[in-house]
Structure 1
Amino acid sequence: MAENKIPAHVPETRAAEQRARTDYVVFGVTAAITVFFVGWGVLSTETLASSASNALAWLVTNIGWGFVLAATGFVVFALWLAFSRYGTIPLGEDDEEPEFRTVSWIAMMFSAGMGIGLMFFGVSEPLAHFVEPPPGTVPPYTDEAIETAMATTLFHWTLHPWSIYAVVGLAIAYGSFRRGRKQLISAVFAPLFGQRRCDGPIGRLIDILALFATLFGSAASLGLGTLQIQSGMQSAGWIGGVGTTVLVLIIVVLTICFVISAVSGIARGIQWLSNINMVLAALLAVFVFVVGPTVFILDLLPMSIGDYFRDFATMIARSGATGGDVMNSWLSSWTIFYWAWWISWTPFVGMFIARISRGRTIRQFVAGVILVPSVVSLVWFCILGGSAIRIQDGGADVYASGGEEAQTFSVLETLPLSAITTILVMILVAIFFVSGADAASVVMGTLSQRGSIEPNRWMVIFWGAATGAVAAIMLVIGGEDALSGIQNLTFIASAPFAVVMVALCVSLTKDLRSDPLMQRGEKGAEVLEQAVIAGTERHGEDFQLEVGPAHHDEDEKA
């Protein structure tokens, strides 16, 4: 990722860049909670698993509706900003050009988003909804189930997640490049609470919640990547049975890799690896498209778009009010888990997107952040998920071949060159995680050290190790269904930050109203209106407006 140039009118950012000063309240409180949690998981795994499960059940039943409303609200808010008069506001100086070319901007933005998620759920989610559609919808294994499966998958992976990212990224970019504030989540709330309070207890609480959410979001991604790499090793015949020892060893190796990456300063190397990974992912998609059910995939593309918009109102209204415990259970495993996961990633992804979007207007920012990745996700799920559905419908029981992490490899085994593509998927998952988690560790260091763009190495190492430890606990408390531990704890950790995001929307709106560009526009409209009224009163409808220098009394007397 290229470094952003810091404008001369941003003294706070420059100061933060020169020296990394640890905020021991933010760091200490979050670190203590993390250490307590990890210790609890090591000493009493069963009680932690039970407590997490009970807490999740209570939260889904009582505040699950809040997540559903908030996620859709972020979509509406982001689109409203793009189409409103605020859409012309630049994220920088009035005459500032975008720092990166559009193609490079889009490529870097997508690499930050959801690489591991697309690899993990690309096959499993459409297939799961085809075999077991959402409660109260359509019968399984039918044409209607295919439509519902693709619509539900796109609901989870297109407008909603990227709107969540866009809201936080936009707030950080606007505050940093337009207003000259620190690159901290708390700094965004200056219009709402005042700068003094943002530097005090309220600001620190916000940064603690952001730091905690980032930690669990990164740990969830590490957990998913670990599960898929383990499954790939089994599929390739490298290991035998499944056990927590293998999972922990994979976590240790991945954690060491991304910590080394984060502290070694080889940013160009990681960018190079990320670009290669994007090419490899494209090659995998093209390969499956060509050797798989090509015509069926092509048919899925327009059908999925139509079904998504047709079912949109129904999908955003799913709640326990009509489905009871069955619907609550489904929501906690799918929709609400996703909203929690995306929200937990917003501090990291938001900061990343903000740093590469300087010079864009709000309208350009929202369009690029939401639409482009949504189109890529559409194509990806139609290729991988469509192939899985076709294979399952043709008689090969991919769904019963193992957990979500194993189904991708089961699909590849039905296609040519499966030995090569299996290794390719494992490489993709590993690099996707390493190239994202190193940046997440740096972001956690930034939040711990008052917005410093280059936090101390010991801080980055600490948060990298903490991410690995939390991921291991997530997998261990999940037991045989390791994914459940990831889902439970991600939701619990993200719930407080969801409230922060709602308040962030209010603060950003207040900030935009006082933007100099908006004030000049309002002043201009007011002056023009007054001039028209005065002209009409003096000359009737036959008058014209002219622009000229102002004449002061002193000039007239002279």
Structure 2
Amino acid sequence: MENEAIQTNYEIGQDNVQLFGLDIHNPVFAISSLTVIAFVLITLMFQDAAAEFFGALRPWLTSTFDWFLMGAANIFVLFALFVMLSPLGKVRLGGKDAKPEWGYFGWFAMLFSAGMGIGLMFFGVLEPVNHFLTPPLGVNPDNLEAARSMALAGTIFHWGLHPWAIYAVVALSLAFFSFNHGLPLTMRSVFFPLLGDRVWGWPGHIIDVLAVFATLFGLATSLGFGAQQAAGGLHYLFNIPATILTQVVLIALITGAALVSVLRGLDGGVKKVSELNMCLAGLLLLFVIVFGSTGAILTGFFTSTGAYLMDVLPLSNPFGREDTAFMHDWTTFYWAWWISWSPFVGMFIARVSYGRSVREFILCVLIVPTIACVLWMNAFGGSAISQYVDTGYTGVTDMVTNWTPELSLYAMLEPLPLTSIASFIGIVLVIVFFVTSSDSGSLVIDSITAGGKLEAPVAQRAFWAIFEGLVAIALLLGGGLASLQAAAVSTGLPFALVLLVMCYSTYIGLKNEPR
């Protein structure tokens, strides 16, 4: 593969159009924007029909295509580990003389905050307790220690190597073809070794449009979760009604804050908000470790990691499973959700990872966030389980069994000292994660629809920030949590096939790169 040939073809393929102050990569922007506008209008006009449709769509998709989603996620993990351990890991993103633009702290803050911040806040207590009450792989719930171990292992399975491998594969592919070969930072560029000049035509347009839809609806799911949890926290602390109206107002206000961050750019907005995230998250995590079940958290970090490593293979197997509720309600939904997030998170991580070697890149993106997620789940979920087992406190289990998931975090914090302060920090953290996800996603979608340009007009970035919020509002009104989950699954499922082909194309590119 020759750099000059690729650069020439890219220049020929540029077809951006300047219109009304926008820098439009025709027809990607037109198709994406008009479809999203139509979706919002139709969903708001026919809310009951939308709720019925999305309510049936999600369980059908996750049960019918479980084998495909789980098989694809396994392939992504194996591919990432292969590239990291093989001689391909010596390739440096940007060339042999490239130097990283950010230090490790800023880099980790941005990739972690964008990766799954809202999800950790929403599911950090809810999921381990749910799996403790109904453990996967046929573990007897009456065996409390076995149930505790399996609950944390099953949770780490969903937040560990598999999701971060999905992100790493997409981020590596985008960073390599952009930084090493001068191609635009957009999904179509990754397929140049397979499609050649056709990436600048309709095959490339389709890939980018799919990436926009996956990113937008994956983000809307997270924003909906964040709005529900923030509204629940405001009700818990200040008795503000946790109604749909409250959630809509929250989305509108926080979208406005995200819009300000977007307009400030990567260094002035996203990076500063991400670092604020890390400080607040670290503060809340330290508080839970110190005032929660400290011994159980620290020992559980190692025991749950061991249980996860021992059970990762049976948990990854889609065939002959008796725990179908765990597999369909949790695993296949998560895999589709992470895949739908992958263009957004992958492109954002790629954008801030210039100068890293491939081996360093995969090691850090795959292992460091996984360790952080293990610690987080043990601190929050492990504390909630210890409260139930050791003291008989049923606050969290009542929230889980009554399916009020947005209150599970606050219920876990209730027996701890300084409850109101800790809960308020939790609300602020959800909101700040909300802003981080929204502004990062807006920059990424903007880049895709502008043909890979990193600095598109302000009006264009504002358009996508606003419509991320509108899509989340439409889905909340048109079915709530079920609609949010169905939207993520329905866009993540077809995009999984795109990612599988991407692995092969990236392997070809790395294999031909001088090391």
TM-score w.r.t. length of structure 2: 0.92
Deviates more, 1:65-74 or 1:358-367: 358-367
Per the TM alignment, residue 129 of structure 1 is displaced from its structure 2 partner at its CA by: 0.5
Q: 1:350 to 1:270 in 2, by over 3 A?
A: closer
Q: Which residue of 1 aligns with 2:275?
A: 275
Q: Which residue of 2 aligns with 1:507?
A: 505
Identity of aligned residues (%): 38
Find the partner of 1:117 among 116, 119, 123.
119
Per the TM alignment, residue 232 of structure 1 is displaced from its structure 2 partner at its CA by: 0.4
> Which string of whole-angstrom CA distances, capped at 9 and with x for unpartnered residues, describes residues 311-360 of structure 1?
111100145x443xx71x44332111111111111112111211222222
> Which string of whole-angstrom CA distances, capped at 9 and with x for unpartnered residues, describes residues 266-317 of structure 1?
8425433322221121111111111111111122111101100111111001
Q: Distance in 2 between matches of 1:10 and 1:352?
A: 22
Find the partner of 1:173 among 162, 167, 175.
175
Q: Distance in 2 between matches of 1:32 and 1:141?
A: 54
Structure 1 runs of 4+ with >6 Å offset: 15-20
Residue 297 of structure 1 contacts residue 383 of structure 1 at CA under 8 Å; is this kept in 2? yes
Q: 1:351 to 1:227 in 2, by over 3 A?
A: same
Q: Distance in 2 between matches of 1:160 and 1:448?
A: 28
Q: Which residue of 1 aligns with 2:369?
A: 373
Paired amino acid for 2:138 = G
Residue 116 of structure 1 contacts residue 429 of structure 1 at CA under 8 Å; is this kept in 2? yes
2:326 is the alignment partner of 1:339: no
Q: Which residue of 2 aligns with 1:51?
A: 53
Residues 376-415 of structure 1: pairs in structure 2 closer than 5 A: 376-393=372-389, 394-397=391-394, 398-401=396-399, 403-415=404-416
Structure 1, unmatched stretches of 5+, are: 1-8, 518-558
Q: Which residue of 2 aligns with 1:356?
A: 352
Q: Distance in 2 between matches of 1:94 and 1:243?
A: 55
Q: 1:269 to 1:41 in 2, by over 3 A?
A: closer
- Name the Cα RMSD after superposition: 2.2
Residue 16 of structure 2 contacts residue 23 of structure 2 at CA under 8 Å; is this kept in 1? no
The residue matched to 2:27 in structure 1 has which SS? helix
Paired amino acid for 1:245 = L
Residues 158-237 of structure 1: pairs in structure 2 closer than 5 A: 158-194=160-196, 196-237=197-238
> Which string of whole-angstrom CA distances, capped at 9 and with x for unpartnered residues, describes residues 497-516 of structure 1?
11110110111111122223
The residue matched to 1:117 in structure 2 has which SS? helix
Q: Distance in 1 between matches of 2:83 and 2:266?
A: 37
Q: Distance in 2 between matches of 1:417 and 1:57?
A: 40
Q: Distance in 1 between matches of 2:493 and 2:148?
A: 32
Residue 122 of structure 1 contacts residue 384 of structure 1 at CA under 8 Å; is this kept in 2? yes
Q: Which residue of 1 aligns with 2:139?
A: 137
Per the TM alignment, residue 141 of structure 1 is displaced from its structure 2 partner at its CA by: 6.5
Q: 1:140 to 1:213 in 2, by over 3 A?
A: farther
The residue matched to 1:137 in structure 2 has which SS? coil
Q: Which residue of 1 aligns with 2:427?
A: 426
Q: Which residue of 2 aligns with 1:547?
A: none
Per the TM alignment, residue 58 of structure 1 is displaced from its structure 2 partner at its CA by: 3.1
Q: Which residue of 2 aligns with 1:97?
A: 99
2:319 is the alignment partner of 1:301: no
Q: 1:135 to 1:32 in 2, by over 3 A?
A: farther
Q: Distance in 2 between matches of 1:399 and 1:342?
A: 27
Q: Which residue of 2 aligns with 1:487?
A: 485
The residue matched to 1:22 in structure 2 has which SS? strand
Q: Which residue of 2 aligns with 1:467?
A: 468
Paired amino acid for 2:130 = A
The residue matched to 2:98 in structure 1 has which SS? coil
Residue 137 of structure 2 contacts residue 315 of structure 2 at CA under 8 Å; is this kept in 1? no
Q: Distance in 1 between matches of 2:267 and 2:93?
A: 25
Residue 218 of structure 2 contacts residue 487 of structure 2 at CA under 8 Å; is this kept in 1? no
Structure 2, unmatched stretches of 5+, are: 1-5
Paired amino acid for 1:90 = R
Q: 1:18 to 1:38 in 2, by over 3 A?
A: closer
Q: Distance in 1 between matches of 2:134 and 2:482?
A: 17
Paired amino acid for 1:343 = I
Per the TM alignment, residue 178 of structure 1 is displaced from its structure 2 partner at its CA by: 1.1
Q: 1:65 to 1:357 in 2, by over 3 A?
A: same
Residue 17 of structure 1 contacts residue 452 of structure 1 at CA under 8 Å; is this kept in 2? no
Paired amino acid for 1:158 = G
Paired amino acid for 2:59 = A
Per the TM alignment, residue 101 of structure 1 is displaced from its structure 2 partner at its CA by: 3.3
The residue matched to 1:118 in structure 2 has which SS? helix
2:25 is the alignment partner of 1:23: yes
* Larger relative contact order (CA 8 Å, sep ≥ 6): 2
Residue 130 of structure 1 contacts residue 141 of structure 1 at CA under 8 Å; is this kept in 2? no
Paired amino acid for 2:159 = W
Q: Distance in 1 between matches of 2:201 and 2:16?
A: 21
Residue 445 of structure 1 contacts residue 456 of structure 1 at CA under 8 Å; is this kept in 2? no
Residues 283-322 of structure 1: pairs in structure 2 closer than 5 A: 283-319=283-319, 321-322=320-321
> Which string of whole-angstrom CA distances, capped at 9 and with x for unpartnered residues, describes residues 394-441 of structure 1?
222112136111010011111111111111111111111112211211
Paired amino acid for 2:310 = R
Paired amino acid for 1:112 = A
Q: 1:188 to 1:290 in 2, by over 3 A?
A: same
How many residue pairs match? The answer is 499
Q: Distance in 2 between matches of 1:510 and 1:31?
A: 33
Q: Which residue of 1 aligns with 2:3?
A: none
Deviates more, 1:435-444 or 1:76-85: 435-444
Residue 131 of structure 1 contacts residue 141 of structure 1 at CA under 8 Å; is this kept in 2? no
Q: Distance in 2 between matches of 1:168 and 1:254?
A: 28
Q: Distance in 2 between matches of 1:99 and 1:244?
A: 42
The residue matched to 1:334 in structure 2 has which SS? helix
The residue matched to 1:21 in structure 2 has which SS? strand
> Which string of whole-angstrom CA distances, capped at 9 and with x for unpartnered residues, describes residues 214-235 of structure 1?
1011111110110110110011
Q: Distance in 2 between matches of 1:387 and 1:75?
A: 29
Per the TM alignment, residue 18 of structure 1 is displaced from its structure 2 partner at its CA by: 13
Q: Distance in 2 between matches of 1:451 and 1:311?
A: 41
Q: Distance in 1 between matches of 2:424 and 2:152?
A: 27
Residue 133 of structure 1 contacts residue 140 of structure 1 at CA under 8 Å; is this kept in 2? no
Q: Which residue of 2 aligns with 1:538?
A: none
Per the TM alignment, residue 135 of structure 1 is displaced from its structure 2 partner at its CA by: 6.4
Q: Distance in 1 between matches of 2:64 and 2:167?
A: 25
Per the TM alignment, residue 132 of structure 1 is displaced from its structure 2 partner at its CA by: 2.0
Q: Distance in 1 between matches of 2:102 and 2:79?
A: 26
Q: Distance in 2 between matches of 1:421 and 1:369?
A: 29
Per the TM alignment, residue 265 of structure 1 is displaced from its structure 2 partner at its CA by: 4.2
The residue matched to 1:400 in structure 2 has which SS? helix
Per the TM alignment, residue 190 of structure 1 is displaced from its structure 2 partner at its CA by: 0.3
